[in-house]
Amino acid sequence: MTTSRIALVTGANQGLGRAFAEGLAARMDPQDLVLLTGRSQERVADAARDVAQLSATRARVEGRVLDVTDSEAIARLAEDLRVRHGGVDVVISNAVARLLPEESQSERADEFIDVSNTATHA
C-alpha cells in the first residue's frame, strides 16, 4: 500500500518557488499532492494550472491563496491539511517580500520582517 505525500510551496507563483513546485510535481507520485500558495488568487490558479499541465508532471497539483504574514490563515491551512491529508510531508518556505525602487524601505519594514521571519515559524 502506498501512502500519499503532501508538499507545500509558499511563494510558488513564479521564479524559484515555481521551479520548486515543478520539480516536486515531476518527481512525486500520482497520488501525491503539490500545493502551490501565493497571495493572488489569479496568479496562484494560473501557476497551479500551468504546472499541472506540464508533460513531466506526475503528482496532483492544486493552488491556494495564502498570505504567510497572516498567522490565522496559516493555522486554517494547516488544520485543513491535517484533516484532509493527515498533515504535510514537505514544506518549502519560499515566500519573499520585494522592494521596488520607488518604495520606501522604512514603510515596508514590517512586511519584510513578517515574510522573512514570522512566516517561517508559523
Burial of 39 (0-12, 13-18, 19+ CB in 10 A): middle
Residue with cell 504535510: 88
CATH topology of domain 6-121: Rossmann fold (3.40.50)
Residue-wise pLDDT tens digits, 11-53: 999 999 999 999 999 999 999 999 999 999 999 999 999 999 9
Q: Are the beta carbons of 94 and 20 closer than 8 angstroms?
A: yes
Q: CA of 20: how far to CAs of 16, 28, 114, in Å?
A: 6, 12, 22
The rounded distance, in Å, linking the Cα atoms of 81 and 6 is 9
- For the sheet containing 90-93, what is the strand order? 60-65, 33-38, 6-10, 90-93
Q: What is the pLDDT of residue 69?
A: 85
Q: Report domain extents, the chain.
A: 6-121
Q: What is the pLDDT of residue 71?
A: 86
Q: What is the pLDDT of residue 118?
A: 60
Average pLDDT of the chain is: 88
Give pTM, 2 decimals. 0.84
pLDDT band at residue 102, thresholds of 50, 70 and 90?
Answer: confident
Residue-wise pLDDT tens digits, 55-97: 999 999 999 999 988 889 999 999 999 999 999 999 999 887 6
**Between 58 and 109, the higher pLDDT residue:** 58
